[in-house]
Structure 1
């Protein structure tokens, strides 16, 4: 039996981008997720002052959604939870990377940097194989044996 929650967190680490938004307005914006080295059950985002999603979470955590469709990690998920604006220099130092650096003129010291913390509650999640060769093998085998290809699994997760 696969540990779907462990698989989820392992794969989120490899996701390059997803769509994040508040459930109240239905707008989703592309964002790059970050997970701490010692997982804390949160997905972190580096954002900029003035963005709607930053302004809307400045005073209180809000219901939010993070949607992932990432072939490289084999993770496809509709994740629901709470999104909050957080000031935590230690987390920012830990998750800072070259991608974030490219967006901010003064690097990690840029005064416009805002840290968002997404705490998942539940997720409809699909895990697929990340190997192209395995995928084509499973499709060929399924066609020859008149069975369904084994290319992954689905799990409803509660965090």
Structure 2
């Protein structure tokens, strides 16, 4: 894979494109009671103009309780079919901004919050990336296998894809 580090708007566009493409990321929060991270899959609501990734969570969840004590998080996105991956480290913040909750609310949320969008346990989780790293082949598995075989024969890894740091 060729290395292509990205900065500023280009990095933000790449982050947004991968998160929007994959949607579900595993958010890992950290508990003082365990040396291991607590990971849960969550669907993103939005990547804003600053690169913050927004989710809806419950104030009763372990993720929420962990972040209240330690805002450090890692988020992992993976699309193995297309060989696209994203690893993010950052800080999380929690809020109850009703305007934003109204904007993000959809029918699927009703399965998680029985009292609707006025449920007192609804919280917004905002992840602000500090560093991120991506792997992206821009093609499907069959093309990737062909490109890897070709790279093995020729030694040219440019066609396999790109990976690098996203400096936001």
Query: Any conservation in 2 of the 1:35–1:44 contact (CA below 8 Å)?
Result: yes
Which has the higher relative contact order, 1 or 2, with Cα contacts under 8 A spaced 6 or more apart?
Answer: 2
CA deviation string 1:107-142 (max 9, x = no partner): 323222111111100012212224456435534654
Residues paired across the two proteins, number: 157
Query: Any conservation in 1 of the 2:151–2:160 contact (CA below 8 Å)?
Result: no
Q: Which runs of 4+ in 1 moved over 6 A?
A: none
TM-score normalised by structure 2 residue count: 0.74
Shift of 1:106: 2.8
Shift of 1:143: 6.4
- Name the structure with the higher helix share: 2
Output the CA distance in 2 between the equivalents of 1:27 and 1:88: 25
Shift of 1:69: 1.4
Could you tell me which runs of 5 or more consecutive residues in structure 1 were left unpaired when the two chains were aligned. none
TM-score normalised by structure 1 residue count: 0.77
Output the CA distance in 2 between the equivalents of 1:99 and 1:46: 11
Could you tell me which runs of 5 or more consecutive residues in structure 2 were left unpaired when the two chains were aligned. none
Shift of 1:99: 3.3
Query: Any conservation in 2 of the 1:12–1:75 contact (CA below 8 Å)?
Result: no
Q: Aligned match of 1:35 in 46, 56, 73?
A: 46
Query: Any conservation in 1 of the 2:82–2:141 contact (CA below 8 Å)?
Result: no
Helix, strand or coil for the counterpart of 1:5?
helix
Output the CA distance in 2 between the equivalents of 1:63 and 1:120: 10
Superposition map of 1:46-125 within 5 A: 46-58=56-68, 62-71=71-80, 75-125=84-134
CA deviation string 1:59-117 (max 9, x = no partner): x7611111121246753122111011112122222233343333222332322211111
Q: Aligned match of 1:11 in 18, 22, 29?
A: 18
Quickly say closer, same or farther: Cα 1:71–1:95, change in 2 above 3 A: farther
